Amino acid sequence: MNLLGKLFRLVWLISSLGTPPLASAQEGSFLKEAEAPKAVFPDATAFERRVIRSTEELKEKIRQRLGKTKTSIWEDSYITFIAKKADAIVGYAVIVEEIGKHRPITFIVGVGADRKIKDAALMIYREAYGGEIRDRRFLQQYKGKQLQDPLLPFRDIQNISGATMSVEAIGRGSKKALALVETVYMEGTEPK
């Protein structure tokens, strides 16, 4: 191989390394089911997906555990994940829904093996957002945005200081997930 050929090969080798992959689409603001458990258990190396049917018996057991906390939604079934690291169970993740101000919020709750809620992450937030809708003049600054479109926090105009999202629904849903994990996985009373 002559010098020119060697140089070309060297440059080709360099060029094949370290190219940043071009993302094919804009990253969404919310989590998909496949990536959700990793969001709440980032150290886990494997997840076992299990669907738990929500029978009347299971609901009653969860109700008893929840005490005064009233859930706004009873799912027909729960998508759950057993999170593992080197074959040891590090926790459980449950996808739950609860009504926010008006509409359901879908999120995943990670419960540690110590029965403590480790993390929760938003998957779908459907609530319209009062402040921005009222302030249409502000929105007109955002070219290309249709004012009749429903406005979603965390997707459209996320940066509003002092505009707190209601997190009561997250609290209820987290307790529901904890009650489910305790009933099904820690006491082994999974419905048949």
Q: Catalog residues that contact another protein under the rule CB under 8 A.
A: 3-4, 7-8, 11-12, 14-23, 26-31, 35, 38-40, 42, 107, 118-122, 125, 130-132, 134-138, 141, 154, 157-165, 167, 170, 174
- Residues contacting residue 139 through CB under 8 Å, at least 6 positions apart: 132, 145, 147, 151, 157
Task: Considering only CA atoms, give the Rg of the chain.
Answer: 23
Beta strand 104-112 with 77-85 is: unpaired
CA distance 28 to 122: 12
CA distance 132 to 136: 7
- In the complex, least distance from residue 102 CB atom to another protein, rounded to whole angstroms: 16
Nearer to another protein, 29 or 54 (CB): 29
Nearer to another protein, 141 or 146 (CB): 141
- In the complex, least distance from residue 192 CB atom to another protein, rounded to whole angstroms: 33
- In the complex, least distance from residue 114 CB atom to another protein, rounded to whole angstroms: 10
CA distance 56 to 53: 10
b vs e for 140-165, b when ≥16 Cβ sit within 10 Å of the residue's Cβ? Answer: eeeeeeeeeeebbbeeebeeeeeeee
How far is C-alpha 168 from the chain's CA centre? Answer: 17
Nearer to another protein, 16 or 146 (CB): 16
- In the complex, least distance from residue 9 CB atom to another protein, rounded to whole angstroms: 10
Nearer to another protein, 57 or 149 (CB): 149
Nearer to another protein, 83 or 170 (CB): 170
- In the complex, least distance from residue 118 CB atom to another protein, rounded to whole angstroms: 7
